[in-house]
Amino acid sequence: MNSSNSRSGPRPGGRSARVQAAVHQATRELLDRHSRAELTVPLIAARAGVTPSTIYRRWGDLADLLADVAVERMRPDGEPADTGTVKGDLRAWAEQYLDEMSSEVGLAMLRDVLAGSSSGEMPVPCRCAEFTASQIEVIVQRGITRAQAVPEVDAVMDGVVAPIIYRVLFGPTPATHARVHALVEACFKSAKKNPLRTALQDPASGS
């Protein structure tokens, strides 16, 4: 991750993709067996079957490699649960997000992400935020389709996600599910229905 190209957009295919996959897999396997203090670039390179210089050229240093691995592990593997309502979806998603981020594995991933480089077109922490926002966007779009009142994605990021992460990283204890429910509820104070969709569905609007 020592150049802006390596930090943004999809990874190239072919040999480059195979190298990334091998290095990521080796890093994950070694993290399961060793502490971070024991991890080194030569150790990862040996397990991945590449030279240390390959890792240094692509990622720059160990911190950026660990950040890249962490952010890929944070990539969602499916859509949020569909409970039938926007509020129910957000509550269920926020509970799961809290549980994952406050776990030992989640906290380690967060620390790795924050320890990585913050330069380039798409810094590692921004990629994490992009994944999170995309999940919230799915929930919001469901609500719009159902003609339900929905909060802005940014309102959920600022009002729900940010407090969860702050408490996980800096608070004496993580937030509780009850607290998360209150944060979700607060987001709906400014929620509104999509004006265009409401007009199209309301015969009285004359549309």
Are 69 and 90 in the same domain? no
Are 94 and 55 in the same domain? no
Are 63 and 100 in the same domain? no
Are 64 and 98 in the same domain? no
Q: How far apart are CA 33 and CA 186, in angstroms?
A: 42
Say which CATH number the domain at 22 has: 1.10.10.60
DSSP 160: I
**% of the chain exceeding 90 in pLDDT:** 63
Cβ-based neighbours of 187, under 8 Å, separated by 6 or more: 90, 151, 155, 156, 159, 160
Please say if the pLDDT value at position 7 is more than 50.
no
Are 112 and 181 in the same domain? yes
Are 172 and 104 in the same domain? yes
Q: From the DSSP assignment, how many helices (H) and strands (E) are in the chain?
A: 12, 0
* pLDDT tens digits for range 144-174: 999 999 999 999 999 999 999 999 999 888 8
Q: How far apart are CA 127 and CA 123, in angstroms?
A: 6
Q: Under a CB-based contact definition with an 8 Å cutoff, are residues 70 and 109 in contact?
A: yes
Both ends of the chain: CA-CA distance in Å? 52
Are 109 and 56 in the same domain? no
Are 56 and 143 in the same domain? no
Q: How far apart are CA 164 and CA 103, in angstroms?
A: 12
Please say if the pLDDT value at position 1 is more than 60.
no
Range of the domain at 123: 86-195
pLDDT, greater one: 16 or 124: 16
**DSSP result, 65-110:** HHHHHHHHHTS-SSPPP--SSHHHHHHHHHHHHHHHHHSHHHHHHH
Are 58 and 90 in the same domain? no
- Tokens describing residue 172: 């004496």
Tally of residues, the chain: 207
* pLDDT tens digits for range 42-95: 999 999 999 999 999 999 999 999 999 998 888 888 999 999 999 999 999 999
* pTM (2 d.p.): 0.76
Q: How many domains does the chain have?
A: 2
